[in-house]
Structure 1
């Protein structure tokens, strides 16, 4: 299993899309937007830096796990790699577990690189212990949810073209409805507001800057959103397996 994990990690970091859009692009966009808006006196620099950091850090799981992993996995299915793995004794369950661990390790590395560059350059203040725990926990849960959805979509379509098309569409939709593309979620009305409120990423983008410096938080809306997605992921994964 150790060698299989190395194989999965090599595939993940060997994917140029994952490196560019999961690590380099978030760093570039954060620095670019900070330089563009840091002279705006209406927005405190500290608040701007923190908001950009907490918003753009979500690009990593969206790009690397949701789009990157689903693209790689769909190609493996098309080329019967998963079938050959079965012949070598790696059951479907073992493959799922190893892929999951590899993606979570990759997310940890991506988060560490992003933070190592952005935090000192933008002078982001340290969070409270409560804020840090919530940040790490919520980031990990979102990454897990995206993995399950990506895995389920891939098994249902079993084709790279369909998987890539669906994942890219949902990638941009998630960024738009979560307020990561320059559109404030407070501007949404009707069904668009309802969709936005269902996404865990919306609460991460909107509430995490406040949680970062506090010692308490009303988790009810966030938990409702997570329960909805976790329940959906549970049934999707069960149907696929």
Structure 2
């Protein structure tokens, strides 16, 4: 199993799209959008805002776009079914792929934090805030991973899956404020509150050096709700996949 995990990790690192949109892009946007002023307080506030705003782009960029496309390609080409014949069940494939995602996302997050804490005028993070960052990034990674797999299972055809993945990536990025702030209808804003990018950013900025767990309860509640929603979607996709195969088998028997 560990050899398969290493194989998936090498594939992920070698996937240039993932490394650009999830690894390089958030870091470059944070550095490129920072402009120092004579006011050190304003500089620190801007640095914290950029750091918090672009941090969720790491799991979004490393998971939702490249892995949805990769799932779709593997499913379309029959790679998933062939791996089952070699003893790697779908569950094992999912676990191996997620472990590789988890490792890569956390490595990129460490690089992101160390680089920006060194370059930008950021105050030191409290231990609790650091725990919050990596816990939240891990939950987001798992949630987006389940969403990626759901998309790849529901939609058919590589190009369609690729198009849907891009819509989800840019849609989440724009609607959650990762690529600018927009005035949205109240209904859309209410729905987007349950994609916990915004509350994660606000909690991180407001409690940068906090030592109180109670300050983060609301954020973690929304993280868990978002994870639960993606688990439900994942289960529905599995049922859809099973039902579709069952119907195909029935058609063959009838013929």
The partner residue of 1:200 within 192, 196, 220 is: 196
CA distance in 2, matches of 1:44, 1:161: 45
Contact 2:143–2:231, Cα closer than 8 Å, also in 1? no
The partner residue of 2:140 within 118, 139, 142 is: 142
The partner residue of 1:156 within 150, 154, 157 is: 154
Displacement of 1:102 in angstroms is: 0.7
Alignment of 1:7-156 (within 5 A): 7-35=7-35, 38-39=36-37, 41=39, 44-156=42-154
Higher Rg of the two aligned structures? 2
Contact 1:34–1:52, Cα closer than 8 Å, also in 2? yes
Structure 2's unaligned 5+ residue stretches are: 239-255
Change (3 A) 1:203 1:40: farther
Does the alignment pair 1:222 with 2:237? no
Runs of 4+ in 1 over 3 A off after TM superposition: 40-43, 217-221
Contact 1:49–1:124, Cα closer than 8 Å, also in 2? yes
Structure 1's unaligned 5+ residue stretches are: none
* TM-score where L is the length of structure 1: 0.90
Contact 2:64–2:168, Cα closer than 8 Å, also in 1? no
Contact 2:67–2:148, Cα closer than 8 Å, also in 1? yes
Alignment of 1:223-238 (within 5 A): 223-238=220-235
CA distance in 2, matches of 1:211, 1:141: 19
* TM-score where L is the length of structure 2: 0.85
Displacement of 1:44 in angstroms is: 1.1
**RMSD (Å) for aligned C-alpha atoms:** 2.0
Contact 1:135–1:212, Cα closer than 8 Å, also in 2? no
